[in-house]
Amino acid sequence: MARALPPGGRLITLEIDLHHAEVARRNLARAKLSDRVEVRIGRASELLDAMQGFVEPFDFVFIDADKASSDVYLKAVLTLSHPGTVIIVDNVVRDGKVADASSGDEDIQGIRRMTEWLATQPTISATAIQTVGGKSYDGFLMAIVG
């Protein structure tokens, strides 16, 4: 993604784990992309809140964090978006388990809260797309802010 940025563009990635953040930073340095990518460390919900008013609205957002907080992350990134922003949320099909409203799995419930909330938002168009691969079947959600 960083290589596709226009001149002056930047990518911000959030990582809760210091070790994973350091691995990412080393890989970015090796790829000569450190000048375009900023790795921030901490809880995504707190980091997103701290960005309010301090970053330009995002054109593209990829959410692939703890699924139990998917609704929290989506609502937070919407305040950092503009009409036309594309938002991808990964791992939303979960082997079809999201269809089970009675599931006690917090990850399933987080995805369900997010999709149920999205269904009430008239200014966001979204769809979930199922994928099949080595990890069985899962999928992603694509939303466009209107």
- For the segment 93-120, the average pLDDT, to the nearest whole number, is 96
pTM: 0.93
Q: What is the DSSP string of 16-70?
A: S-HHHHHHHHHHHHHTT-TTTEEEEES-HHHHHHHHTTTSPPEEEEEE-S-GGGH
Domains of the chain: 1-42 (no CATH), 57-145 (3.40.50.150)
Residue 54 confidence (pLDDT): 95
Residue 136 confidence (pLDDT): 83
Q: What is the pLDDT of residues 4-61, one digit of tens each?
A: 999 999 999 999 999 999 999 999 999 999 999 999 999 999 999 999 999 999 999 9
Q: Give the residue carrying structure tokens 């199922």.
A: 130
Residue 24 confidence (pLDDT): 97
Residue 106 confidence (pLDDT): 97
- For the segment 121-141, the average pLDDT, to the nearest whole number, is 92
- For the segment 65-87, the average pLDDT, to the nearest whole number, is 96
**Would the pLDDT of 134 be above 80?**
no
Q: Residue 67, class by beta-carbon neighbours within 10 Å (0-12 exposed, 13-18 middle, 19+ buried)? A: buried
Which residues fall within 8 angstroms of residue 146, CB to CB, at 6 or more apart? 83, 122, 123, 124, 125
